[in-house]
């Protein structure tokens, strides 16, 4: 018969082994989440800029997204389409953050919802640079006046999301995504003529 002391030692060993296993799992998850962060931080920054969030807000939202992802994965929830999941959580947190800011504070300077537009890389050739700036400005002027859903659908597509993923992020049907993007493209096409 096992003595209480031996049992306790056994439990200690068992829990220590479990603890090590848990630590190893956590480390692997941390690595996985950090790798996804490396891949998606820039796309998320661009997307969240379209909500008119400051860089600090975007940074905080992104941190929260990946902390939530860690818990999501750790609790054994589905791993299918993590990119869509990440954008959906970022979209929801971005909306919350924007609502909170609108209720309490107003940004006085550089509060353009498309703040991304002032940071285009310079082209080496001055003529090409001027032409690309004009093209960009024309394009962004149109994008600015698109309905929010159309604009967000277009941005998400530009980030490489599939239509099904965009539908998931925006909480609309696949048909809704198709309508939004074709409407947006028609506006862009019309302006180029």
Partner 1 sequence: MRGPGIFNAEPITMRHDDGHFSDEVLLLALDGELPARLQASVQSHLAVCPNCRTRFQAIQSEIEDFSTTYRSLHKLSPPQRFSRAMLKARLAELGATPTQGRMDRMLQSVMLWRRWVYLGAAVLIAAVCGALLPVAFGPVWAAQTPDTDLTPGLTLSVSVKDVCSNTLEDAPEVPSQMAYEVFTQYGIHDPRPRDYEMDYLITPALGGANDIRNLWPQPYSAGTWNAHVKDALEDHLYNLVCKGAVELTTAQREIATNWIAAYQKYFQTEDPLPDHLGFYKDRPWE
Query: Which residues contact partner 1 by CB under 8 A?
Result: 19, 22-23, 26-27, 29-30, 33-34, 37-38, 41-42, 45-46, 49, 54-56, 59-60, 62-64, 66-68, 70-71, 74-75, 104-111, 116-117, 119-121, 135-136, 139, 154-155, 157-160, 162-164, 172-176, 178-179, 181-182, 185-186, 188-189
CB of 20 to partner 1, least distance (A): 12
3-state DSSP call for residue 124? Answer: coil
Residue 109 φ/ψ region, left for φ over 0, alpha for ψ in the -120 to 50 degree band, beta for the rest: beta
Pair of tokens at residue 52: 């008119």
Q: How far is the CB of 62 from partner 1 (least distance, A)?
A: 7
Distance of closest approach, residue 1 Cβ to partner 1, in angstroms? 31
Task: For the CB of residue 168, give the shortest distance to partner 1 in the complex, in Å.
Answer: 12
The half-sphere exposure of 92 on its side-chain side, counting CA atoms within 13 A, is: 11
Nearer to partner 1, 6 or 63 (CB): 63
Nearer to partner 1, 6 or 122 (CB): 122
- Give the containing element (helix H, strand E) for 94: helix 82-104
Closer to partner 1 by CB, 5 or 190: give it: 190
Residue 6 or 24 with smaller CB distance to partner 1? 24
Burial of 91 (0-12, 13-18, 19+ CB in 10 A): buried
- For the chain, the residue count is 193
In the complex, least distance from residue 45 CB atom to partner 1, rounded to whole angstroms: 6
**Whole-angstrom distance, CA of residue 64 vs CA of residue 75:** 17
Q: Using the CB atoms, write b or e for 11-33: b if 16+ within 10 Å.
A: eeeeeeeeeeeeeeeeeebeeeb
CB closer to partner 1 out of 79 and 135: 135
């Amino acid at each position: 018969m096992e003595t209480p002391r031996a049992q306790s030692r056994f439990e200690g060993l068992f829990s220590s082994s479990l603890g090590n296993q848990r630590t190893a799992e956590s480390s692997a998850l941390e690595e996985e989440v950090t790798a996804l962060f490396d891949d998606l931080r820039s796309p998320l920054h661009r997307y969240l800029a379209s909500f008119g969030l400051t860089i600090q807000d975007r940074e905080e939202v992104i941190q929260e997204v990946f902390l939530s992802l860690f818990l999501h994965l750790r609790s054994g929830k589905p791993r299918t389409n993590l990119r869509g999941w990440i954008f959906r959580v970022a979209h929801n947190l971005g909306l919350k953050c924007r609502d909170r800011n609108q209720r309490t504070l107003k940004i006085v300077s550089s509060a353009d919802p498309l703040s991304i537009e002032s940071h285009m890389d310079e082209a080496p050739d001055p003529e090409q640079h001027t032409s690309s700036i004009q093209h960009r400005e024309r394009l962004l002027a149109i994008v600015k006046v698109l309905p929010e859903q159309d604009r967000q659908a277009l941005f998400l597509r530009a980030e490489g999301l599939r239509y099904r993923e965009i539908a998931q992020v925006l909480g609309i049907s696949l048909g809704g995504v198709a309508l939004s993007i074709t409407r947006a493209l028609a506006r862009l096409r019309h302006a180029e003529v």
